[in-house]
Amino acid sequence: MPQSLYSIRMHATREGRHLSGAERLAPRSAVEALAAALVRRALEHPRGQADRLRLTVEAVPAETVRFAQLPDLRTVPVADYFVGRQAALRLLERAGVAPEAAAIAMQALAAGAAPEGVAMRGAMLVDAQTGARLEADPARGIRVSRMDLAASTETELGQGLRPLGLDNPHVREALLLAGKVLAAPAIVAELCWSDDPDYTAGYVAAPHLGYVRLPHLKPAGEERGGRAFFLRGGREELPALIDFLEKQPVLFDRLGALRGETLLEE
């Protein structure tokens, strides 16, 4: 009988504002240590100390878990965030996002996509043709959840990322999140950059491009970050897509190719 898994999710706030969140999907034997690591992480977050922290541990029936492959990863070096954003727009266009839609979404992220001009807690859903925003709650957005590495790929991913200087939690978590997004129905591409003031890197991910890192997508010190998921098709696709992104457990049991720096046009 397959081993049952647990979803372990942490959410920390400070003065009612989102501070950090992270999660794992793991067998019972690992739950205690992973929960402790998530609590430590919430308390040591660079954006400030949490004054409220919620930890959720939930059983996930083994037969509902889907297995998938991580996207290929590469880095396109860019001198600064102006060049980085131009490169991101080109990649989105290559992935099939209309140039106006890509520009609208990028502008929204840069301005802080939540109503008060701050980072959203989750992602925008953006029509890849028109740039229209489709998420019901523009402050929360869509939260991608319930994904992790399978135990078999945990060490392997570290071995692949370390020589590239990329074995850090930002890269690991973003690669998994992008992997789940790209496995979802109707997704054309994703654009992301961090809300951590000292982490300027971001990426464009798309089914045929893989996960393309851009070391600068915002200036240092900037707290406005976010994610945009670009989709094709009508609103009737939305409930299934959102259910997949938020609820479907996915374990990555295969890696993609992990490469260093490449030219933009590859």
Return residues touching ligand WAQ (CB under 6 A): 119-120, 122-123, 142-144, 170-171, 174, 177, 192, 194-196, 199, 201-203, 213, 225-227
Which residues are at the interface with Mg ion (CB under 5 A)? 195-196
Q: Are 77 and 87 in contact (CB under 8 A)?
A: no
Token pair belonging to 148: 């992790």
Phi then psi dihedrals of residue 20, to 5 deg: -160, 160
Coil, strand or helix at 195? coil
Q: Are 266 and 91 in contact (CB under 8 A)?
A: no
Q: 127 vs 195, which CB is nearer to ligand WAQ?
A: 195
Token pair belonging to 210: 């893989």
Distance between start and end Cα atoms, the chain: 44
Q: 95 vs 119, which CB is nearer to ligand WAQ?
A: 119
Token pair belonging to 3: 């081993």
Residue 107: partners with Cβ closer than 8 Å, 6 or more residues away: none
User: With CB cut-offs between 5 and 8 Å by kind, which of Mg ion, ligand WAQ, none does residue 202 bind?
Assistant: ligand WAQ
Q: 10 vs 144, which CB is nearer to ligand WAQ?
A: 144
User: With CB cut-offs between 5 and 8 Å by kind, which of ligand WAQ, Mg ion, none does residue 192 bind?
Assistant: ligand WAQ
Q: 203 vs 252, which CB is nearer to ligand WAQ?
A: 203
Q: How far is the CB of 98 from Mg ion (least distance, A)?
A: 28
18 half-sphere exposure, CB direction, 13 A CA radius: 21
User: With CB cut-offs between 5 and 8 Å by kind, which of Mg ion, ligand WAQ, none does residue 106 bind?
Assistant: none
Q: How far is the CB of 214 from ligand WAQ (least distance, A)?
A: 8
Q: How far is the CB of 228 from Mg ion (least distance, A)?
A: 16
Q: How far is the CB of 29 from ligand WAQ (least distance, A)?
A: 25
Q: 24 vs 188, which CB is nearer to Mg ion?
A: 24
Q: How far is the CB of 226 from Mg ion (least distance, A)?
A: 10
Q: How far is the CB of 152 from Mg ion (least distance, A)?
A: 28
User: With CB cut-offs between 5 and 8 Å by kind, which of Mg ion, ligand WAQ, none does residue 183 bind?
Assistant: none
Coil, strand or helix at 54? strand
Q: 89 vs 123, which CB is nearer to ligand WAQ?
A: 123
How far apart CA 83 and CA 244 sit, in angstroms, is 34
Closest listed residue to residue 175, CA positions, set 212, 138, 139, 207: 212
How far apart CA 97 and CA 43 sit, in angstroms, is 39
